[in-house]
Amino acid sequence: MHATIDDKQGAAPGTARLVEAVLDNVGQVVVGKRDVVRLCLVALISRGHVLLEDVPGVGKTVMVRAIARSFDCDFKRIQFTPDLLPSDVTGTSIFNQRSGEFEFRLGPVFGHVVLADEINRTSPKTQAALLEALEEHSVSFDGVTRALPAPFFVLATQNPIEYEGTFPLPEAQLDRFLLKLSIGYPTPQEELSILARGTTGVSVEDLQAVASPEAVIQWQREAARVFIDPLLASYIVDMAQRTRVHPRIYLGVSPRGSLALARASQAFALLSGRAYVIPDDIKYLAAHVLRHRLLLHPEARISGVSQQVVLEEIIEATPVPVIPGRR
């Protein structure tokens, strides 16, 4: 893959410091969710996207707005509703009476950071309008393909406890998200801090940028050059293969999932100040990258077995390679 691990001992010196600056900046308005914010940065730097499944009121919108402001990125929000049309997401042609021609008016998906709020409340047709944007970072309309801004990052949310009037995302749509995350409730101490900040703390509008969109693009280039030992590539493939033959799994991880885990591991290593991937990067990220790509047999679901439990069994059963020459 590129040289050896000994030749790849460190990433750019300022990368880890800048990452900490971003995390500290977001931490001014998001209490106690540093690991979740770091994982969002992993997706951003991997050119991937995040599906955030959580109950209302835990800070999903604040978090993604804070990330956008920290990088001085353009932020757009799309509130998904049952009557939302695909053109409401991607844009549409408007007749200009002055020029006598149709002009394409950009939809809200044309932003650096896009919050797709309650994505499972809209119809499958409108959900599908995001497919090309998520995968190709472009939008096609009337035979013309338009590139989306760079960087481009979508964080989609869905409520896990409301099923009436919702349209569950199909497997093809789920597979387009690099990570599936949950913020979770704060601890009592964190909630006390939230209450205190609610009256005297910093708001998202007060946040100052500590990086730039160009910094994100540079990180994306650097992440693509992070070294993955061939043994670790085999480790990822072995893990994916085991999902395809597990007796409780009906649909295992696709090659897209294996590639997503490799790219996420490269980004996580870069954010950790390393220019090489270690096995712990892969083990830590596997649950977040692979869990939503598994489809269990009906018998397993009826018996109460979750994707998380099955995946943890697979991760523990997959032999971890010993990488020679790593200091």
The pLDDT of residue 6 is above 50? no
Residue 200 has a pLDDT of 60
245-270, pLDDT tens digit by residue? 999 999 999 999 999 999 999 999 99
pLDDT at 8 over 60: no
pLDDT digits (tens, 9 = 90+) for 81-97: 999 999 999 998 887 88
Give the model's pLDDT for residue 7. Answer: 40
State residue 131's pLDDT score. 82
Mean pLDDT to the nearest integer, 183-212: 83
Mean pLDDT, rounded, for 157-183: 82
Its pTM stands at: 0.89
> What percent of the chain is predicted at pLDDT more than 90?
57
| Residues 80 and 209: beta-carbon distance below 8 Å | no
DSSP result, 232-275: HHHHHHHHHHHHHH-TTEEE---HHHHHHHHHHHHHHHHHTT-S
The confidence score (pLDDT) of residue 326 equals: 56
d(CA 180, CA 87): 26
Q: Which residue has the higher pLDDT, 146 or 161?
A: 146
- Please report, in angstroms and rounded to a whole number, the separation of the first and last CA atoms in the chain: 19
Quote the DSSP letter at residue 169.
Answer: P
Fold for domain 5-317? Rossmann fold (3.40.50)
Residue by residue, DSSP assigns 183-221 as --PPPHHHHHHHHHHHHHS--GGG---SS-HHHHHHHHH
The answer to whether 248 and 310 have CB atoms below 8 angstroms apart is yes
Question: Residue 186's pLDDT is what?
Answer: 86
More confident residue, 198 or 23: 23
Q: With bands split at pLDDT 50, 70 and 90, how would you rate the model's confidence at 148?
A: very high
Q: Is residue 13 pLDDT above 80, yes or no?
A: no
Task: Assess whether pLDDT exceeds 50 at residue 2.
Answer: no
- If you search the block for the tokens 């597979």, which residue do you land on? 175
Mean pLDDT of 141-169: 84
Mean pLDDT of 93-108: 84
User: pLDDT-based confidence at 101, cuts 50/70/90?
Assistant: confident
Nearest residue to 28 (alpha-carbon basis) of 77, 69, 73, 76? 69
pLDDT tens for 41-50 read 999 999 999 9
pLDDT mean over 12-24: 81
Mean pLDDT of 59-64: 90
